[in-house]
Amino acid sequence: MAEALATLARGDAVVPLRPMLRLPDQSGILGMMPGYIDTPRSLGVKLITVFNKNHGTEFDSHQGVVLLFEADHGSLVAIIDASSITAIRTAAVSGVATRLLARSDAHDLCILGSGVQARTHLEAMLLVRPLQRVRVWSRDADHARAFAKAEEKHHAIRVEPMESAIAAVEGADIICTVTSSREPVLRGEWIAPGAHVNVVGSSVATAREVDSAAVVRSLLFVDRRESALNEAGDILIPINEGLIDASHIRAEIGEILIGKEAGRDSDSAITLFKSLGLAIEDVAAARVIHENALAAGVGTSVDIGGRRRAGE
């Protein structure tokens, strides 16, 4: 993911704004996310449905496929499940942002949300900082307790389910919001000086997980400016309120990776990374998965239009 974001910052990627088809009853969305990366040449599209009512059921809230094409003749080379890619690449990007922006001594993690993204974000945070304390909160207390029990066993680290979001956040120096909420679950007044926040759950202009005060207080970083200024309610709502403007965005994560922009400027600063998720992240992940599948001899070949294609 770091390579993909750096490629974008160098201008060697194409990422159109994603068109969204909303069901008339607002129960779900079909998103179409095409992308191209120049080095190595990779072309693809993620087609994904988002049904937030699936939380707590046998169905993921995000489902779909990633279609990978070779960029010389435009031939389809792989069809890959999008749910796993979305779960892993989103957390990996938050891991990149945390590695760049969190204080080097950050060790107290708060996760707001207890779904798939909570699980992968815990794994990603453990890879970039030596965590000593982990707290989790969910609107469904039973889900938070189940998450804590499972992840505590999996990672051999204490995971504390908390009764309230404010209790989970208090004193944390890394905070990940990974909910499906359309209204803020994190308030700026709760965030401790020096904390780093990954805001992940919302990806539409009319919903947000953090309030305006959290954004105003923070040094703000994004995966891509154009996407953030068109799709991120966490940013657009305080802009519409007249509290910030587009210049409040300090940098894209890729710009920090290539040395074009700086990240945190003091130990007391609050840094906030708004993650929207980009098609090039899915394309880059699909390319790696396809290459690994071919090398390992796994996956299933299918006939499309009379020609053999691989599908993993």
Spell out the alpha helix ranges (H) of the chain.
Answer: 2-9, 82-101, 116-128, 141-155, 165-169, 212-217, 225-231, 233-240, 253-257, 279-296
Q: Is residue 98 domain-resident?
A: no
Mean pLDDT of 22-45: 92
Confidence of residue 296 (pLDDT cuts 50, 70, 90): very high
Residues 204, 259 share a domain? yes
C-alpha distance across the termini of the chain, in Å: 20
Mean pLDDT of 33-41: 92
Q: At what angle do helices 141-155 and 116-128 cross, to 10 degrees?
A: 40
Residues 200, 137 share a domain? yes
pLDDT at 311: 53
Q: Which of 79, 33, 10 is nearest to 279 (CA)?
A: 33
Confidence of residue 305 (pLDDT cuts 50, 70, 90): low
Mean pLDDT of 240-264: 97
Mean pLDDT of 199-209: 89
Q: Is residue 92 domain-resident?
A: no
Q: Which residues are within 8 A (CB) of 68 and not within 5 positions of it... i.e. 6 or more apart?
A: 42, 43, 44, 76, 77, 78, 79, 80, 283, 286, 287, 290
Mean pLDDT of 15-34: 92
| Residue-averaged pLDDT of the chain | 93
Residues 307, 235 share a domain? no
And the tokens for 152? 């505590």
- Which CATH number does the domain housing residue 69 bear? 3.30.1780.10
**Lowest-confidence segment of 53-57, 168-172, 236-240, 295-299 by average pLDDT:** 53-57
Mean pLDDT of 280-287: 96
Burial class (CB in 10 A: 0-12, 13-18, 19+), 42: buried
Angle at 106 between CA 103 and CA 112, to 5 degrees: 110
Q: Is residue 91 domain-resident?
A: no
Q: Which of 167, 258, 272, 169 is nearest to 219 (CA)?
A: 272
Q: Is the peptide bond before 24 cis (omega within 30 degrees of 0)?
A: no
> Given a cut of 70, is residue 240 above it in pLDDT?
yes
Cα–Cα distance, 163 to 109 (Å, whole number): 16
Residues 163, 203 share a domain? yes
Q: What is the pLDDT of residues 110-138, one digit of tens each?
A: 999 999 999 999 999 999 999 999 999 99
Residues 72, 108 share a domain? no
**Lowest-confidence segment of 9-23, 55-69, 113-127, 200-214 by average pLDDT:** 55-69
Q: Is residue 90 domain-resident?
A: no
Residues 294, 160 share a domain? no
Confidence of residue 309 (pLDDT cuts 50, 70, 90): low
pLDDT at 194: 97
Strand 159-161 relative to strand 196-199: parallel, antiparallel, unpaired? Answer: unpaired
Residues 295, 202 share a domain? no
Q: Is residue 79 domain-resident?
A: yes
**Lowest-confidence segment of 27-31, 72-76, 131-135, 201-205 by average pLDDT:** 201-205
Confidence of residue 57 (pLDDT cuts 50, 70, 90): confident
Q: Is residue 188 domain-resident?
A: yes
Q: Is residue 93 domain-resident?
A: no
Q: How many domains does the chain have?
A: 2
Burial class (CB in 10 A: 0-12, 13-18, 19+), 76: middle
In the DSSP assignment, the letter for residue 210 is: B
- Which CATH number does the domain housing residue 268 bear? 3.40.50.720
> Given a cut of 60, is residue 310 above it in pLDDT?
no
Q: What is the pLDDT of residues 182-194, one digit of tens each?
A: 999 999 999 999 9
Cα–Cα distance, 245 to 229 (Å, whole number): 10
Phi/psi for 60 (5° steps) reads: -65, 150
Residues 79, 6 share a domain? yes
Burial class (CB in 10 A: 0-12, 13-18, 19+), 13: buried
Owning domain of residue 27: 2-85+280-311
Residues 112, 50 share a domain? no
In the DSSP assignment, the letter for residue 267 is: T
Mean pLDDT of 3-25: 94
Q: Which of 10, 28, 31 is nearest to 277 (CA)?
A: 31
> Given a cut of 70, is residue 308 above it in pLDDT?
no
Residues 226, 119 share a domain? yes
Q: Is residue 232 domain-resident?
A: yes
DSSP string, 110-132: EEE--SHHHHHHHHHHHHHS--S
Its pTM stands at 0.92
Residues 195, 125 share a domain? yes
Residues 152, 268 share a domain? yes
